A and B are shown apart, each in its own frame.
Chain A
């Protein structure tokens, strides 16, 4: 296991494209997180000009809600897509450079190949989650008053939810890249599906007549987004009736993991049967 990870690190760590995309990702992630609270409260100020009783500011960077707020912003599709694209590039590179063939010829089993890629996805997801959690702790501690500090770990489970989100989303990307074997095509289809096709499909399925039993929430990308569906703004609940979570729901967490398991199963099956 350590040997496979060592091999993967050799493939990745000197790869410029990897660093550029991951760099861009962290820039977007950090900017997004830092600006989100400011944007939201200026929006609240705007609303307050038109209504008699002022809405209080959202306590965006305060414990414990900061866990939920920041994992929500970190898991919107437009930011999540970056590490997914990195994964697509890493897996399709193996096919376009034919290095998967060379690895197998040299004595890596097909299962080891799959396992090594899953390790990359797992540890990348873990690393990103860790960075985000560190950021949340720093921002939270510098913004929360003494009273709030008692609640520091209350909603930490949202970091776990974020891990499930980013891990599953990268597995989806891995799945598509593995099946298509072509970098450009995989990125185009994945981006198109995640950012346009599925939201449209979701919207259509939301029409009450078409979906008596809430089927739209089980669309794959939506199942990921749904794990942390909204930031903790109680007023949204009051005004718009949105489903604001107090805690993670087990069902929400399990659905994307089931998708991931099925996709890994399909890749395992195809890899063991197909010619390389």
Chain B
């Protein structure tokens, strides 16, 4: 796979706060890459460094296999934090400035405005827009000139539920065009719905990265107990789908690699000569799982 972005150990310190701490990351063409982490985990700082807004203290990075330059940034569309435009200019005039900077023709402007649902308001001044519209204009601006990469920093932040749904549809639509996407978010749910790959950050350090299906896979969880807890432990660890278990008061919490039906499990234990006194399925929410991921590495 062609490397789009390669980060080699970048760090950034703001006074006493180490915002990014020796981050390594590789992103390949066509990935929808999520940077997942709670607020203050260094996502925005990382993206700001990648876009030359913030100077890194150490480390380096390459866009498209070359040292970063204004030319590489012209191939990247970005939505960073709040939408930044001239309030007294219309959407079209603001986008013309963007096209001029990127050295791209104005032909794409109408298409970008149509795609983001702003075409009817294209000649209104930016300051008359609602927040959702401003955010969509930022996406329209990022799409000008067919970028190779789209960077989105918390694109659904501050939007109402309808706005969030529209934004996610928009991102999926863009991903289908084969544009590589880097998406920073503190919402696990968002990353899981949109991304193919993910890196989990905490306090400027990367905890994991990999395919979303691996990193964020939710294993099945079952609570069991019996008269003889040790025999139960031994028997259940022989199950084909067994992954791990932990003790919770008088029960075992058992993780399975794949879903196991309670009836099937009961039958299995029966065959092993164990009578269960308790058996129940427990679904972990994604948020619980995310918090566990973060806590495991404290």
Instruction: Answer whether residue B21 sits at the interface, using C-beta atoms and an 8 A cutoff.
Output: no
Given A14-B93, A101-B53, A275-B53, decide whether A107 and B73 contact each other with a Cβ distance below 8 A.
Answer: yes
Residues of B68-112 whose CB lies within 8 A of A: 69-71, 73-74, 76, 78, 80, 82, 84-89, 93, 96-98, 100-103
Question: In the complex the two chains form, what is the Cα distance from A274 to B141 in whole Å?
Answer: 25
The interface residues of chain B lying within 8 Å CB-to-CB of A106 are 73-74, 78, 98, 101-102, 141
Q: Which residue on A lies nearest to B144, using beta carbons?
A: A106
Instruction: Please state if B101 and A101 are interface contacts (CB–CB under 8 Å).
Output: no
The listed residue (B55, B82, B89, B102) touching A107 by CB distance below 8 A is: B102
A273 to B55, CA, bound (A): 7
The stretch from A2-10, A145-153, A217-225, A261-269 touching chain B is: A2-10
Question: With an 8 A cutoff between CB atoms, is A45 at the interface?
Answer: no
Tell yes or no: A103 within 8 A of B by CB.
yes
Given contact pairs A10-B96, A97-B84, A275 touches B74 in the complex (Cβ within 8 A): no
Docked CA distance A169–B86 (Å):
26
- B21-59 vs A, CB cutoff 8 Å, 1 = contact: the mask equals 000000000000000000000000000100111110000
Query: Cβ of A196 < 8 Å from any Cβ of B?
Result: no
Q: Is the CB of B82 within 8 A of A16?
A: no
The answer to whether A105 and B73 have CB atoms under 8 Å apart is yes
Q: Are A99 and B80 in contact (CB under 8 A)?
A: no
- Asked if A108 meets B53 with Cβ closer than 8 Å, knowing A14-B88, A102-B85, the reply is no
Contact A10 B100, CB 8 Å, known A104-B52, A105-B73:
yes
Tally A-B pairs: CB < 8 A.
Answer: 79
Residues of A within 8 A of B51 (CB): 104-105
Q: Which of A104-139 contact B (CB under 8 A)?
A: 104-110, 112
A243 within 8 A of B: no
Given A10-B97, A10-B100, A99 and B52 contact (CB-CB distance below 8 Å): no
Q: A104-B53, A106-B102, A276-B53 are in contact. Are A7 and B87 (CB under 8 A)?
A: no
Inter-chain contact B101/A103, CB cutoff 8 Å? yes
Number of chain B residues whose Cβ lies closer than 8 Å to a Cβ of chain A: 30
Q: Chain A: how many interface residues by the 8 Å CB criterion? A: 27
> In the complex, which residues of chain A have a beta carbon less than 8 angstroms from the beta carbon of B74?
106-107
CA distance A112 to B52 in the complex (A): 14
Q: Does A11 contact B (CB under 8 A)?
A: yes
A65 to B257, CA, bound (A): 95
Residues A275 and B85 in contact, CB atoms below 8 Å apart: no
Measured CB to CB, the nearest residue on chain A to B52 is A104
A99/B86 contact (C-beta < 8 A), A105-B78, A106-B74, A275-B53 known: yes
A98 at the binding interface (Cβ < 8 Å): yes
Decide if A38 is an interface residue (CB 8 Å cutoff). Answer: no
Q: Do B87 and A112 have beta carbons less than 8 Å apart?
A: no
With a cutoff of 8 Å between Cβ atoms, the chain A residues found around residue B97 in the complex are 7, 10-11
- Alpha-carbon distance A275/B73, docked complex (angstroms): 17
For residue B70, which residues in chain A have a CB less than 8 angstroms away from its CB?
107-109, 112
A residues lining the B interface (CB < 8 Å)? 3, 6-7, 10-11, 14-16, 93, 97-99, 101-110, 112, 273-276
Residues of B within 8 A of A (CB): 48, 51-55, 69-71, 73-74, 76, 78, 80, 82, 84-89, 93, 96-98, 100-103, 141
Can you list 27 A-B pairs, Cβ within 8 angstroms, ordered by A? A3-B100, A3-B103, A7-B97, A14-B88, A15-B88, A16-B88, A97-B87, A99-B84, A99-B86, A101-B80, A102-B85, A103-B101, A104-B52, A105-B52, A105-B76, A105-B78, A106-B73, A106-B98, A107-B70, A107-B71, A107-B102, A107-B103, A108-B101, A109-B69, A109-B70, A112-B70, A273-B55
